[in-house]
């Protein structure tokens, strides 16, 4: 997620925000970005107190769109580490959850939504998942994780856009987690699209340079 979008998400938050400059596809396909997210989380836990002055027992993760996919996968992987890393929270906006989705399945209700079309989303996916079979791995599609791992997810706040092809998979994942005993708040933004965060300008401080405002 871009630095400007991160600013939108965390304005007013009393926390230290760490962004991971993970490797990007197609030069570095799956699972490079997942591996980098894991490395970043472990660094914060191991060195965050000394380097950043943070409490490593109170770590949350979050992301938007493809970053939301990485954050979701990371929130589940954290419970599988030895020792495990107990996360406090997962913050998601318009996340990519199901890498097996198509225009004939969950994308169908918003197949004609602006900007993020099925064709564009499929192109992104093909750059990231160079082996189609990887789409069925839960480290790519966290909704396919075993129930015992889903049940260990931290509490979740998720924002989804009503006119986004990712809308249905986001809502479905919220229900899946609830069914496994996880506390989830899923907020639907009526009439909004996948570009919702880049359209937000009301919460920007007046002291920001005009060039930083959308």
Catalytic residue positions, numbered: 65, 164, 194
**How many whole angstroms separate alpha carbon 153 and alpha carbon 79?**
8
Contact 211, 3 (CB under 8 A): no
CB atoms within 10 A of CB 2: 12
Query: C-alpha distances in angstroms, 125 versus 19, 92, 196, 197, 214?
Result: 22, 19, 21, 21, 27
Query: What SS3 class is residue 159?
Result: strand
Query: What SS3 class is residue 136?
Result: helix
């Amino acid at each position: 997620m871009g630095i400007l979008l991160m600013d939108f998400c965390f304005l007013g938050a009393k926390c230290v925000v760490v962004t991971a400059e993970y490797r990007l596809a197609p030069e570095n396909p799956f699972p490079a970005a997942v591996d980098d997210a894991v490395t970043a989380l472990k660094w914060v836990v191991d060195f965050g107190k000394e380097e950043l002055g943070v409490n490593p027992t109170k770590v949350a993760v979050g992301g938007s769109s493809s970053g939301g996919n990485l954050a979701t996968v990371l929130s589940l992987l954290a419970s599988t580490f030895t020792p495990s890393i107990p996360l406090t929270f997962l913050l998601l906006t318009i996340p990519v959850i199901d890498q097996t989705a198509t225009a004939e399945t969950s994308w169908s209700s918003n197949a004609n939504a602006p900007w993020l079309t099925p064709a564009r989303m499929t192109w992104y996916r093909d750059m990231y998942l160079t082996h189609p079979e990887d789409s069925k791995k839960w480290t790519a599609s966290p909704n396919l994780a075993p129930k015992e791992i889903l049940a260990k997810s931290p509490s979740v706040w998720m924002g989804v856009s009503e006119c986004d092809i990712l809308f249905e998979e986001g809502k479905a994942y919220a229900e899946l987690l609830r069914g496994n005993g996880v506390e989830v708040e899923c907020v639907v933004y009526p009439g909004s699209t996948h570009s919702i965060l880049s359209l937000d300008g009301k919460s920007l401080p007046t002291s920001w340079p005009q060039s930083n405002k959308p």
